Amino acid sequence: MTKLRFALAASAAFFCLAGIASAEDLTFTLKNGTKSVLTNFYSSPVGVNNWEDDVFGKQVLNPGESIEITIGDGRAVCKYDMKFEFEEGSDLDTTTDTQNLCELGAYTIHE
């Protein structure tokens, strides 16, 4: 009977941990491959109609620079829409893209 209780407890712990692992943070490197300052970066899971908060906050990403991005929204999804905004006066328009961030190690925004 003790072995059965141990097995049930171990199984319950495994399934709890498996649920936590599926909601891991998504991390990737974002590189600005343009000649303009990237001022805002937004992301939202595909199918969500609103953009999440600006990931940069008060930071910017200058041309040629890279930054590690972590999306820790607790969702167990991989496909995200991304929106990039550039400094005022830039020749670049706001750009959007969709990527599977679970498979993405790095992303470079180009002109």
Q: For the chain, list the domains and their CATH numbers.
A: 24-109 (2.60.40)
**Residues linked to residue 32 through DSSP beta bridges, in sequence order:** 109
pTM here is 0.75
Tokens of 30: 């974002």
In 9-105, at which residue ranges do the beta strands (DSSP E only) sit? 26-32, 38-45, 66-71, 79-86, 95-100
Sign of CA dihedral 74, 78, 80, 86: positive
Residue 18 above 90 pLDDT? Answer: no
Q: What are 49-64's pLDDT values in tens digits?
A: 999 999 999 999 999 9
| 3-state SS, residue 12 | helix
